[in-house]
Structure 1
Amino acid sequence: MNILRKLLTPQSRRPPAPVPAGEPAAEAAGLRVRLGGRPVLDSIDLTAYAGEVLALVGPNGAGKSTLLAALAADLPAGSGTVRIDGRPVTAWSAAELALRRAVLPQSAALAFPFPVEEVVRMGRAPWAGTDRAGEDEAAVASAMAATEVTGFAGRPFSALSGGERARVALARVLAQRAPLLLLDEPTAALDLRHQELVLRICRERAAAGDAVVVVLHDLGLAAAYADRAAVLHEGRIAVAGPPAEVFSGELLGAVYRQPVEVFPHPRTGVPLVVPERAP
C-alpha cells in the first residue's frame, strides 16, 4: 500500500487552506455537457458553499450524476466553467484536486480482494508527502467508526454485501478529509438505519465546514437534511433553494410526472413528499 500511495501522489504538496463558511467551494457557470453527441446539461449555474449540504434531486436521466461528475472535474465541460476553491478545475493538477474534493461514485468495484481497512486507507493516498500524512491512522479509524464498518475491517471488500460495500466506499471518502464531498446516491443500497446515518454524517461534515453535494432520489431525505436542493429537469435546474421553499406539489408533480402532495411534518415542519395514490 505504501508503494501504491507513492505512485499516486507526489511527495511535496501544501494542503489547501480551509474555505471559509459561506464561501463558494465549487461553482458551475453556464455549464453545458454533451455525452455521445446528446446534450445532457444545459446552462447550469450552481454554487456549493462551505458549511452546507446541497442535494441534487430529479428524475432518472435529469443529469444529476453528470452534474456531479462535472463538478468533480471527472467529466469535462463542453462549455462554461467549473471552479473548485476559486480556480477553474483545469488549473488544478489531478493531485491538487485530490486534496480539495473527494468523490463517491454510484458503484464501488475493486479488481483485487483488498481488506476493508486497506480500502478505507486508500482515501489517504493524496496526503502522502504532506504535513497531514501523520493523520492517516486517526482519519481511517474515525471514518470506519462513523460508517459502522470497524467490525469487519479485516474482511475482503469483495465478500461484503452491497450495503456494506457502500458504507466502506463512503468511509474511504471520509478518510480523505477533503473540504468538498461529492456523493452520488450514497443511500441507494442502504437500509433505513444506514440511510439516516449517512445523511447525519453529511450534516456533521457541513457543520465542520465542508461543502457536501449529494445526489438523492429520496425527496424526504433531501428535505430533512439538505440546506438547499437543486431540482434538475431535462438537463436544467428547474429551481434551487431551501427544500421548504422549493418543494411544492405542483413543481415536483410536473418534474417527476407523478402527482404528489407536499405537506409539513406535524412535529418538525420538514416537508413530506407523498405520491398521490388511488384509494
Structure 2
Amino acid sequence: MSALFDRARTRLRRLPAPPAPTAPGEVLAETEDLQVRLGAGPVLKGVDVGARAGEVLALVGPNGAGKSTLLGALAGDVPAAGGVVRLHGRPVAGWTAAELALRRAVLPQSAALAFPFSVAEVVRMGRAPHAASPAEDDLAVAEAMAATEVTGFAGRPFGALSGGERARVALARVLAQRAPLLLLDEPTAALDLKHQEAVLRLCRERARAGDAVVVVLHDLALAAAYAHRVVVLRGGRVAAAGPPAEVFTEPLLSEVYEHPVEVFPHPRGTGVVVGPRRMP
C-alpha cells in the first residue's frame, strides 16, 4: 500500500507550490448564473453563491434541491452547462487537477475503498498533493486524526469501521490535505450528537484559521448554530441567502420544506433555534 502511495506522491511532487495565504473575506469559490444539467433536465438554474475565507457557508434545502450538485460544481467535479464557477478568482476549468488538489479539499457523502487500507493510510492520502517533508506529512496526519478522534484506531482496516467512524476518518483525510477551501457534503449524517457537534466546531475552527468552509447540512439547527451564512436551495434555485438569524424564518422554511417549521430566539441570545412544528 505504501509503495502505491509513494508512486503517486512522486508524480505529484511536480506540483507548483501551494497557494499564498488568503486574506480575511477573500472569495475563494463563487458561481455566477450557474446552470447545471444532469441527464435530461436542469438541476441548478441561475445560482449565484460565494464562499469567503474566514466563514462557514451552509447549503440547506430539501432532498433534490441541488445542494450536492452545487458543492460538486464548486469543486470543479460537476461541469456547468451555463454561467461560470471560479476558484481563487480563476474559472475552475483553468486549473489542472493537481492545482485544484492544493486549493480545495472535498468530502463526498460516502467513502468507499476497494483495498484494505488502514485508517492512518487513508488519512495520509490527503497529503498526496503536497511536496512536503515526511515530518510535515506526519504532523498534518497526526493533527487531523487527533482533531477527528480517530488516533486510537489508526492501525485498523478502514473497511472494519462503523459508518460513523469511517465518516470521521474521511474528514481527517480532508483536514490533512490542508487546502484553504473545504467542501463537505453532509459530514454529520452518520454521526452521533457528540461527533456532530465536534465536526461543526472543527468547521468553525478552520474558518477562524482563515479557511473557507462550505458544508451541506440537513439539520437546520446545526446550520443555525454554526454557519456564518446559509444558502437555502429549492428546486435548483436560491430561495434565500444570508446570516441564519435573518434567513431562517418560519414562513420561508415552512414553504421550502412543505412542512410547518418553528423558529425561536435562542434562550442565550446566540441566534435562533429551528425545528419542525409537531402536533401535540
TM-score with structure 1 length normalisation?
A: 0.97
In the alignment, what sits opposite 1:222? 223
Matching of residues 110-129 of structure 1 within 5 Å: 110-128=113-131
Q: Alpha-carbon deviation of 1:277?
A: 1.5
d(CA) in 1 for partners of 2:270 and 2:13?
Answer: 49
In structure 1, what is the equivalent of residue 241 of structure 2?
240
Q: CA deviation at 1:134?
A: 4.8
Distance 1:156 1:165 in 2: 10
Task: Decide whether the 8 Å contact of 2:15 with 2:99 is kept in 1.
Answer: no
What does 1:130-149 align with in structure 2 at a 5 Å threshold? 134-149=135-150
Q: Which residue of 1, 7, 17 corresponds with 1:3?
A: 7
Q: What is the rounded CA distance, in whole Å, between the counterparts of 1:6 and 1:161 in structure 2?
A: 32
**Residues 1-279 of structure 1: pairs in structure 2 closer than 5 A:** 1-7=5-11, 9-128=12-131, 134-279=135-280
Any conservation in 1 of the 2:15–2:130 contact (CA below 8 Å)? no
CA-CA distance at 1:267 after TM superposition:
1.4
- CA deviations 1:73-100 (Å, max 9, x no partner) are 0011001100011111111000000000
- In 2, the alpha carbon distance for the partners of 1:10 and 1:69 equals 26
Matched residue of 2:129: which SS?
helix
What value does the CA root-mean-square deviation take over the aligned residues?
1.1
TM-score normalised by the chain length of structure 2 = 0.96
Determine the C-alpha separation between the residues in 2 that align with 1:213 and 1:151: 28
Q: Is the 8 A contact 2:220 2:275 kept in 1?
A: no
CA distance in 2, matches of 1:33, 1:173: 26
Letter paired with 2:87? I
SS at match of 2:251: helix
Q: CA deviation at 1:268?
A: 3.5
Check conservation: 1:19, 1:85, Cα contact below 8 A.
Answer: no
Structure 2: runs of 5 or more not aligned: none
> 1:11 deviation in Å?
2.2
**SS of aligned partner of 1:54:** strand
Structure 2: distance between partners of 1:133 and 1:238: 47
Displaced runs of 4+ in structure 1, greater than 4 A? 131-134
SS for the counterpart of 2:63 is coil
